[in-house]
């Protein structure tokens, strides 16, 4: 009995929360390289995949339950898109891609539901969304933040 008691105590010690935590991989290192804009909108990462070109794909939810899929690299966010019929990105995110866009371009106030943002290698940004009356909108900006095109369909 004396020989098994120490072994049982060691086994019990290995199942304490502290011991289990040291063995359980943390999600934090997987998202440590995540761009700040994604942390700012409160993205809770549920999955992650890396491709051979250095592109990281993450998916998860925003605090309001909106499902989001994002691709990013060391250069930053390449695209962010919501999933779901009435889903929207927070409109404040626009300034992370085009500084002071809403103040400079009042036409952007027509966007009431932002569904996608793409940024290409040249720094050009394209945003898609919907107006309050259900019309699809697309805005395109050059790398300096100048509005190139605004379409309402």
Does some domain include residue 141?
yes
Does some domain include residue 51?
yes
CATH code for position 63: 3.40.1420.30
DSSP H helices, 52-146, are 94-97, 101-104
Does some domain include residue 62?
yes
Total of domains in the chain: 1
Does some domain include residue 27?
no
Q: Give me the pLDDT at residue 31, please.
A: 66
Is the pLDDT at 145 greater than 80? The verdict is yes
Does some domain include residue 8?
no
Residue 34 and residue 47: Cα distance in Å, rounded? 13
pTM given for the model:
0.76
Does some domain include residue 20?
no
Q: Map residue 107 onto helix, strand or coil.
A: helix
The b/e string for 105-135 (b: 16+ C-beta within 10 A; e otherwise) is: beebebbebbbebbbeeeeebbbbbbeeeee
pLDDT tens by residue, 81-109: 999 888 999 999 999 999 999 889 999 98
Does some domain include residue 7?
no
Torsion of CA 28, 31, 32, 36, to 10 degrees: -120
Does some domain include residue 29?
no
Conformational region of residue 2, where left means phi above 0, alpha means psi within -120 to 50, and beta covers everything else: alpha
Residue 41 and residue 92: Cα distance in Å, rounded? 9
Only one residue has tokens 């995949």, namely 49
- Domain membership of residue 45 as a residue range: 35-152
């Amino acid at each position: 009995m004396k020989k098994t008691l120490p072994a049982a105590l060691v086994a019990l010690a290995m199942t304490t929360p502290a011991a289990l935590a040291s063995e359980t991989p943390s999600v934090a290192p997987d998202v440590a390289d995540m761009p700040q804009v994604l942390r700012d909108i409160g993205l809770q990462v549920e999955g992650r995949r890396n491709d051979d070109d250095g592109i990281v794909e993450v998916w998860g939810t925003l605090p309001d339950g909106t499902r989001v899929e994002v691709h990013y690299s060391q250069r930053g966010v390449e695209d962010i898109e919501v999933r779901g019929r009435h889903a929207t990105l927070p409109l404040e995110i626009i300034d992370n891609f085009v500084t002071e866009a809403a103040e400079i371009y009042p036409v952007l106030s027509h966007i009431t539901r932002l569904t996608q943002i793409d940024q290409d290698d040249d720094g050009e940004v394209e945003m898609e969304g919907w107006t309050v009356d259900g019309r699809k909108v697309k805005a395109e900006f050059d790398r300096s933040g100048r509005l190139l095109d605004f379409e309402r369909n």
